[in-house]
Amino acid sequence: MSFPWANEYKPTNPLMQWMDQRLPLPRFVYNAVGAGYPVPRNLNYMWNFGILAGFALVLQIVTGVVLAMHYAANDKVAFDSVEHIMRDVNWGWMLRYAHANGASMFFIVVYTHIFRGFFYSSYKAPREMIWLLGVVIFLLMMATAFMGYVLPWGQMSFWGAKVITGLFSAIPLIGTPLQQWLLGGFAPDNAALNRFFSLHFLLPFVILGVIILHVWALHIPGSSNPTGVEVKQESDTVPFHPYYTAKDGFGLGIFLMLYCALVFFAPNLLGHPDNYIPANPLSTPAHIVPEWYFWPFYAILRAFTSDFLFIPAKLMGVLAMFSAILVWFFLPWLDTGPVRSGHYRPLFRKFFYALVVDVLVLGYCGGAPAAEPYVMISQIAATYYFLHFLVILPIVSSIETPQPLPFSITEAVLGKDDHATLAPATPAVA
């Protein structure tokens, strides 16, 4: 679906006309991310991050597929094969650093994309399905990133696998058999490494599939925009190409500069030195933490230190960690306010920034050792996290008086000039 004033694909080249009648793939692309997709004219740079996330996924798939040509998923040789990539394979060091840091960049971009959604309430009707699919993509990303981190079979890989699969053992009755089924053994071993490699290769393509659904769902109502006012007329939109291909291109340039700075000047900045030690099942590293992008959730996991009612602390921690993401699925129905954009919601805006700070605090505690004061800070921050979604958001959205919205996107951009923005109030010819 699109707006009635969308440009129509009219190929002039006979070959493209021939193609269009048989397999209208160019038409599909033209309507999806070309001149045939009308987009609100007022998008700011926060709207770059969807395209950037797609770019990061392609980057990961390309570097990942070539790394898989040199990597060996066997517990005896996996670590050595990664060192072989680093030392012997032509450009292997660059490809591996590009892949490892590409994961970090992917998460930076996706977190920005998610928080853009929080601020502008992009999850509200009629865009709930886009949001739900986005949360599914995020969960798939987390699984993919975790399994990828296991592949080098260093100390952090091994103990990461042990701790994360250990989460499942918290489930009553079926926990331990489930963990053994996931690992194919009693502890992470060759069986686990092999299946993680298989799934790490598969899941990015599953993500690609869900992204197609995500973009499909997006094209039904069209893109949201910083005012949160829906498109009303042709003057509210511009074609995606060339306007937003250019704007996204600029954002992509900035992205690539940051990415290259990481890959070429600080490739191990976000990694852990312990992962350059081969996996040793008999010795746990003194300080095990996941990669930075899991820290907020890891802090929530560790925040539960004593049993609550009849639920053991361990199970509570696991439930809370998963709930921290699952609560996003309910967001469209927790925030019931009629206004979308945080720009027009003064009270909501304050709590949005509080949530940003809260997640940063959780992230910091998740990377810190499991000791005081970090445990207590995590407990407070984790409590606030759930309060935000389950209590604050429903209350704020029901008591808040939003500021007046502009009549249209055009008015928000050009001001209240009826002659410039709308047809004259009275017909010129009677």
Partner 1 sequence: MSGATNGEGVRRRDFINIAAVSFAGVGGLAALYPLISQMAPSADVLAESSTEIDISAISPGQAIKAVWRKQPVFIRNLTPAEIAAADKVDVTTLRDPQTLEQRTTAGKTNWLITMGVCTHLGCVPLGAGEGEVKGEFGGYFCPCHGSVYDTAARIRKGPAPKNLEVPPHEFSSDTVVKIG
Positions marked active-site? 219, 223, 247-248, 291
Contact between 379 and partner 1 by CB under 8 A: the answer reads no
Contact 292, 111 (CB under 8 A): no
- Nearest distance from residue 191's CB to partner 1, in Å? 7
Which of these segments, 129-137, 142-150, 162-170, 409-417, binds partner 1 (CB under 8 A)? 162-170
List, in order, residues 6 or more apart from 102 with CB less than 8 Å away: 56, 59, 60, 63, 259
Question: Quick one: 108 or 315, whose CB is closer to partner 1?
Answer: 315
Q: Find out whether 409 and 225 touch, Cβ atoms under 8 Å.
A: yes
What SS3 state is found at 355?
A: helix
**Three-state DSSP class for residue 276:** helix
User: Computed over its alpha carbons, how large is the radius of gyration of the chain?
Assistant: 25
Which string of x and - marks every residue 303-322 that binds partner 1 (by CB under 8 A)? Answer: -xx-x----xxxx-x-----
Q: Is residue 200 a contact residue for partner 1 (CB under 8 A)?
A: no
Identify the residue among 91, 181, 205, 308 touching partner 1 (CB under 8 A).
181
Residue 307 has a CB neighbour count (10 Å cut-off) of 12
C-beta of 2 vs 169, nearer to partner 1: 169
Helix ranges (DSSP H) in 281-426: 295-302, 313-326, 331-334, 346-367, 374-387, 393-399, 409-414, 418-421
Instruction: Between 166 and 394, name the residue whose CB sits nearer to partner 1.
Output: 166
- Minimal distance, residue 304 CB to partner 1, in Å: 7
Q: Does 162 bind partner 1 (CB under 8 A)?
A: yes
Q: Is 278 in the site for partner 1 (CB under 8 A)?
A: no
Position 74 contacts partner 1 (CB under 8 A): no
Residue keyed to tokens 């539960």? 304
* CB-nearer residue toward partner 1: 119 or 298: 298
The token pair that represents 357 in the structure block: 């700070």
Q: Given candidates 11, 24, 26, 166, which one binds partner 1 under the rule CB under 8 A?
A: 166
Query: What is the identity of the amino acid at 17?
Result: Q
163 contributes a contact to partner 1 by CB under 8 A: yes
107 vs 159, which CB is nearer to partner 1?
159
Structure tokens at 204: 């990015």
Rounded to the nearest whole angstrom, what is the least distance from the CB of residue 288 to partner 1 in the complex? Answer: 6
Whichever of 286 and 430 has its CB closer to partner 1, that residue is 286
Of residues 187, 203, 347, 405, which one binds partner 1 by CB under 8 A? 187
- Binds partner 1 by CB under 8 A, chosen from 24, 54, 184, 267: 184
Q: What is the token pair recorded at 428? A: 């010129």
Q: What angle do CA 280, 181, 203 make, to 5 degrees?
A: 85
Residue 194 contacts partner 1 per CB under 8 A: no
Comparing CB distances to partner 1, the nearer of 7 and 190 is: 190
State both tokens at 76.
């005896």
Separation between Cα atoms, residue 77 and residue 51, nearest integer Å: 37
User: Is 189 a binder of partner 1 (CB under 8 A)?
Assistant: yes
- Chain-centroid distance of CA 107 in Å reads 6
> What is the rounded CA–CA span in Å between residue 295 and residue 142?
12
Nearer to partner 1, 126 or 281 (CB): 281
Q: Before 338, cis peptide (omega within 30)?
A: no
DSSP class per residue in 201-240: HHHHHHHHHHHHHHHHHHHTT----TT-PPP-SGGGEEEI
How many angstroms separate the CA atoms of 74 and 79, rounded? 9
Q: Which stretch binds partner 1 (CB under 8 A): 84-92, 138-146, 281-289, 381-389?
A: 281-289
Q: For residue 195, state whether it binds partner 1 (rule: CB under 8 A).
A: yes
Residue 175 to residue 190: CA distance in whole angstroms? 21
Selected range binding partner 1 among 140-148, 189-197, 254-262, 384-392, rule: CB under 8 A? 189-197
Strand partners, 308: 311
Task: Closer to partner 1 by CB, 371 or 428: give it.
Answer: 371
Nearest by Cα to 148 from 73, 91, 51: 73
> To the nearest whole angstrom, how small is the minimum distance from the Cβ of residue 361 to partner 1?
19
Report in angstroms how near the CB of residue 309 gets to partner 1 at its nearest: 14
Asked if residue 339 lies in contact with residue 226, where contact means CB atoms within 8 angstroms, the answer is no
Q: Is the dihedral of CA 188, 193, 194, 197 positive or negative?
A: positive
Among positions 2, 7, 74, 180, the unique one binding partner 1 when judged by CB under 8 A:
180
CB under 8 A: which stretch of 104-112, 119-127, 134-142, 278-286 binds partner 1?
278-286
CA 221 from centre of chain:
21
For partner 1, how many residues bind (rule: CB under 8 A)? 37
Tell the smallest beta-carbon distance from residue 326 to partner 1 (Å): 20
Binding site for partner 1 (CB under 8 A): 159, 162-163, 165-167, 169-170, 180-187, 189, 191, 195, 281-284, 286-288, 302, 304-305, 307, 312-315, 317, 370-371
